[in-house]
Amino acid sequence: MEKLLETARKVSDKAEVYSADSWGDSVSFEDAHLKDVQSSMQSGISLRTIKNNTLGFAYTKNLVNREELIKNALDSLKGGVEGFFELPITKDLQSLDTYDPLIETLTNSEIVEECSRVCEFLSRRTEGQINISASRLINNRRLINSSGTDLSLKSSAYILNAQVLYPYSYASLYRTLKSKSFKKAPDEYMEYLINTYNQSMKEVIPEKKKMKVLFLPETVYVLMWRLQSSTSGLSIYQNISPVAEKIGERIFDEKLSIFNEPLDDSLPGARAFDDEGTPCSRFPVIENGVLRNFHYDLYFAQKLKTSPTGHGFKGSVSSKPGPSLSHLAILPGNTSFPGLVKSIDQGIIIAGALGAHSGNIPNGDFSIGVSPALYIEKGEIVGNVKDVMVAGNIYDTLKNIVEIENTLHPCFGGKFPSILFDNVNVTIKN
């Protein structure tokens, strides 16, 4: 990497080299039987160059020919992408506990044994089909640039996801466990799946359609996706954000506070620096319903004449960094999940979302199919409902929060609780 940076620096004004490699194993069970065991290994290097204030980019999976990679980056300068920003000089970052060496001693046999145990536990108590996936993963990242930054990160993860499928459908109730090394699934995790599924097995058709809606943690990303988009430097620059002029204003219910928490190393994925070398920090997005900040990478921070916020992340080594809130956390409320259910006279639980991309995302619109949709009546889950659609706009929906669960769960996009809403548009096809 050092030689690549040195060579690239000779033919450009600024240069950055980013490398990522990962290896791991995964196990999958279908209908409570072992289906597959796989091992994988990936690596890659990307190069960004800035010459005459123009940005170039190239990547490779194998650094066999440095000159060719540099040539590709220089050729991409013809695209005319502006590169007026400075590459950061970053040192003395906060030390994070992101890697547990015990992950390397974990064998596939132990993962299979744990999945078998969970399958047996669930199968004894429910008639639904049990599907389980589990994996361990080790990641290494390094970033060096011509400003003198040299940063590296090693991280580990063990992830287990158990699903209970509803009869004659692909709809399932599921929940994910994440840790930096192997941990057995606790009984309360499996009890949640069993009890919630068993209560909702019966198919029902509600008589009324005006009801409360409870988003499970696994589906809260539908709402957070819209918020991420509208608070991104990209949306601000393109003038498509509905909150561009609302910093300091209350835009949501005061019960809602949302932070980006990249320094929280209690779970896998913690980061002290982003994929451009900018330091990360605890970052308030919403505090008691008030909009506090927009998030930027180097490129859009320069475009908007502001400072980068440490949110320049890549989707993969082959992609350029862009503004992203990758470690969201919603502050918990005061009510347990059973307590939320008991407080609902009539309502729908959104346990799975179909078409989360539908609607004008930067504007906050959503329109999703709910699969499965669990039905609550008089404080109890009594069945599931077919053909349910939920639609709205987060700038209306997030003003009508009834209560927030008191526990956070690791999910796609962050750590989220269940959130109970009122006045959500629910459509049920009878």
- Asked whether residue 384 carries a pLDDT value surpassing 80, the answer given is yes
Q: How many CB atoms lie within 10 A of CB 367?
A: 17
Choose among 259, 269, 260: nearest CA to 310.
260
pLDDT digits (tens, 9 = 90+) for 123-182: 999 999 999 999 999 999 999 999 999 999 999 999 999 999 999 889 999 999 999 999
Give pLDDT, residue 63. Answer: 86
- Asked whether residue 420 carries a pLDDT value surpassing 80, the answer given is yes
Which helix H or strand E contains 199, and what residues bound it? helix 187-199
Give pLDDT, residue 81. Answer: 96
Give pLDDT, residue 417. Answer: 98
Q: Hey, what amino acid is at 177?
A: L
- Asked whether residue 403 carries a pLDDT value surpassing 80, the answer given is yes
End-to-end C-alpha distance for the chain, whole angstroms = 62
In angstroms, how far is CA 304 from the centroid of its own chain? Answer: 26
Q: How many CB atoms lie within 10 A of CB 269?
A: 17
Give pLDDT, residue 211. Answer: 86
> Does residue 253 come out as left (phi exceeding 0), alpha (psi in the -120 to 50 range) or beta?
beta
233: confidence class by pLDDT, cuts 50, 70, 90:
very high
Choose among 222, 212, 215, 173: nearest CA to 355.
222
* Percent above pLDDT 70 for the chain: 99
Choose among 417, 414, 421: nearest CA to 391.
421
Q: Residues 380-402, buried b or exposed e (16+ Cβ, 10 A)?
A: ebebbbbebbbebbbbebbbbbb
Query: Can you read off the two tokens belonging to residue 129?
Result: 């089909």
Domains within the chain, CATH numbers bracketed: 2-195 (3.30.2290.10), 202-430 (no CATH)
Give pLDDT, residue 400. Answer: 96
Give pLDDT, residue 207. Answer: 75
CA distances (Å), 164 to each of 145, 197, 253, in order? 48, 7, 34
In angstroms, the CA 404 to CA 60 distance is 45
When mean pLDDT is compared across 8-17, 69-78, 135-144, 420-429, the lowest value belongs to 420-429
Ranges of beta strands (E only) in 195-343 are: 212-215, 258-260, 283-287, 290-291, 312-313, 322-323, 328-330
In angstroms, the CA 424 to CA 404 distance is 16
- Asked whether residue 208 carries a pLDDT value surpassing 80, the answer given is no
Give pLDDT, residue 62. Answer: 85
For the chain, give the mean pLDDT: 96
- Asked whether residue 335 carries a pLDDT value surpassing 70, the answer given is yes
Give pLDDT, residue 112. Answer: 98
Give pLDDT, residue 209. Answer: 63
Q: Residues 246-258, buried b or exposed e (16+ Cβ, 10 A)?
A: eeeeebbbebbbb
* Percent above pLDDT 90 for the chain: 95
Contact 297, 243 (CB under 8 A): no
- Asked whether residue 365 carries a pLDDT value surpassing 70, the answer given is yes
Q: If you compute the radius of gyration of the chain from its CA atoms, what whole number of angstroms results?
A: 23
Average pLDDT of span 293-306: 98
- Asked whether residue 2 carries a pLDDT value surpassing 70, the answer given is yes
14-30 vs 129-145, strand pairing mode:
antiparallel
Give pLDDT, residue 61. Answer: 92
Query: Can you read off the two tokens belonging to residue 90?
Result: 């970053």
Give pLDDT, residue 198. Answer: 97
Q: Hey, what amino acid is at 355?
A: G
3-state secondary structure of 218: helix
- Asked whether residue 34 carries a pLDDT value surpassing 70, the answer given is yes
